[in-house]
Amino acid sequence: MINVIASITVKSAELDTFLKIFKSNIPNVINEEGCVAYSATMDFKTDIPIQDANPNVVTIVEKWETYTHLKSHFAAQHMLEYKSKVEGMVVNVSLKILEDV
């Protein structure tokens, strides 16, 4: 199983539009072969001192059956269209690709 944590920093003025575009693409991703889970999350502010909450970061939590499925996801037409739509809204993207141990 391949797990992905993608952190996307979005311009604050663009956050609502970004989320609308992102959420509209979720059904396309869920229907991809090998997709086990795919969801957008945001920091939940707490009083825990070590938490580093950022209201402009959208964290995507993904699970894929194989790395090959994940690579296909990156090249899927709906993902290329999504990237084109949000290109000017995104400040930074951080990606962690993990495997179960």
Summarised one tens digit per residue, pLDDT across range 8-59 is 999 999 999 999 999 999 999 999 999 999 999 999 989 999 998 999 999 9
pLDDT band of 81, cuts 50, 70, 90: very high
Q: What is the pLDDT of residue 9?
A: 98
Q: List C-alpha distances in Å: 13 to 18, 54, 91.
A: 10, 14, 12
Q: What is the pLDDT of residue 70?
A: 98
Q: What is the pTM of this model?
A: 0.91
Q: For the chain, how many structural domains are there in total?
A: 1
Q: Which domain holds residue 89?
A: 2-99
The CATH number given to whatever domain includes residue 80 is: 3.30.70.100
- 3-state SS, one letter per residue, for the chain: CEEEEEEEEECHHHHHHHHHHHHHHHHHHHCCCCEEEEEEEECCCCCCCCCCCCCCEEEEEEEECCHHHHHHHHHCHHHHHHHHHHCCCEEEEEEEEEECC
